[in-house]
Structure 1
């Protein structure tokens, strides 16, 4: 038989190690409830508030300039007859804005494709090829991530002046490629390094060269990371104004610079500014949703690894 003192000591111990409910602190209870339906509703409400300016821009781009100057865009709910496609007709017939739009395409697409191609090749080399100084060179590439763009503006301007690249689309593209490569190499190298070595060795035993392994094995497996890089690079170049404002002239300026020049006379050309701004906004959104599935896969893969 056990004494009452021993039983009194044993019972709390059994409660601590057994099935008794453990009391949680206030912070843990708050964290446990963050996945509830009320929080989801709150996040949806916040997202809708974030979308209000975008929706207002869309409505403003579909209203007559006189209506825009006389009342706010929300008046369209009581007067839906104000909506018209006339502003977009004027935008499409504006040669300067259309030229700026296509200049943006000629700048963004090559900058994105070149960064993906060169960055993926360099990332494969850093991940799977052995050569002297590989790790030190990779550390240099990582160090370039912290170099701000503003540091290179004056030296690159002098270089472009000597090579006659100042005021050209080629000069803007080369600048974006140069500053996009460090992040591309860093991102893709870490992702490629997670590919099983046995898979690459099997391809090499089948007679595959490094280029064959890269294009037929590494690139298909690295598609989620490449899609993430494509989204980041495309959005950065498409929305850039600083680089284009310095290195592009009137014939090569992108849409961001053209819209910035239009804002000086906003009261007189709102019928061009509003649809142009929405056009500049909707293209990156379309690119993001087009690569969204691969982007989510890349984020989840990186989280699991």
Structure 2
């Protein structure tokens, strides 16, 4: 009875659950990256992205004013001010402070309003929830002020400043606008060129009879197992010897060479599975191979072409190794986004909000391409059938 047509398998629930888990595993980090790209540095360091809508506590180190702002009152040296307003880093003015400490070993030893006495009772410090403080010392103060650890409750905060810094107002080392355009310049031709060449080659190998066709197919299958890393340096030397050098043309040809074997193999298998009657009838009617290819084969093979275009676009967009070898120059004018993110990691490893924004900008285009063309993957299940 289990094999009756139309009856669902008893394991269908396991398949559905597996799909849900796979979607969740992919979706959670993507959503986290998106949320983090709109948060400030303080928010990211204080709590995870899943707590972005809730207040979070953060411990920050601030300093009071030093000797330059101290006022002598009898035998005491006194400094007064507002920690939040006087400090360039840390929570913004208006943030609620809950506790403070004057030692890294007890960062939350005192509640706001209490007076901390330390350094053998020669210094005292007190502050309120708004950050207003009074610091006293029986000895003349040094140039640097007193270190204070503040526990503050940060309200939810989202900003577009990260995107403004990454895409618009960043300097040449930070802005990804040029890297974004460079990546498009590399990816679009490197996706179109191999598909055009592979489509012609796949038709010839599938439907045209000529000597050595079987050997060519075997050679293409053999090229599928050639490691990309093994061919990088020989191919670069070839480019330099023929005068191509490092540049867009070199990286286009490199991506074309590395993508062609798989493209030809997939398209040839797809085209050879198309109905033979259509091809033979077209030849009887006097159609040439070029007319058959353009009028019949290409429309029927569009789902396969679109599928490979998606994968080739994703591979090229996310590539770093080929770009490092064939494209990067000393001026950085041709830097792609993957390399730009590496630069951010090297020079600004602590600015997580900038890295999250840059990473999400990098993955946004592949996401748009995938969701825009995924319907062609579904259509490929029914394409090529004869009515």
Is 2:235 the partner of 1:156? Answer: yes
TM-score (norm 2): 0.66
Is 2:68 the partner of 1:91? Answer: no
RMSD over equivalenced CA pairs, Å: 2.3
Local SS of the residue matching 1:77: coil
Structure 1 segment 1-305 matched on structure 2, within 5 A:
32-36=9-13, 40-41=16-17, 43-79=19-55, 81-93=156-168, 94=170, 96-249=175-328, 250-298=332-380
Q: 1:252: Cα distance to partner?
A: 1.6
Q: Distance in 1 between matches of 2:48 and 2:321?
A: 31
Report if the CA contact (8 A) 2:44-2:353 is conserved. no
* Mean CA deviation greater in 191-200 or 292-301: 292-301
Name the one with the larger helix percent: 1
Q: 1:46 to 1:182 in 2, by over 3 A?
A: closer
Larger Rg: 2
TM-score (norm 1): 0.82
Report if the CA contact (8 A) 2:40-2:157 is conserved. yes
Q: 1:299 to 1:264 in 2, by over 3 A?
A: farther
Q: Distance in 2 between matches of 1:259 and 1:166?
A: 25
Report if the CA contact (8 A) 1:167-1:247 is conserved. yes
Report if the CA contact (8 A) 1:111-1:173 is conserved. yes
Report if the CA contact (8 A) 2:162-2:357 is conserved. yes
Name the one with the larger strand percent: 2
Q: Distance in 2 between matches of 1:46 and 1:111?
A: 30
Q: Distance in 1 between matches of 2:46 and 2:181?
A: 33
Structure 2: state its 5+ residue gaps: 3-7, 56-154
Moved over 4 A (4+): 299-302
Q: How many pairs align?
A: 273
Larger RCO: Structure 1 or Structure 2 (Cα < 8 Å, ≥ 6 residues apart)?
Answer: 1
Deviation per CA, 1:150-169: give whole Å up to 9, x if none. 11111112122223433312
Q: Distance in 2 between matches of 1:264 and 1:201?
A: 61
* Mean CA deviation greater in 171-180 or 81-90: 81-90
Q: 1:301: Cα distance to partner?
A: 6.4
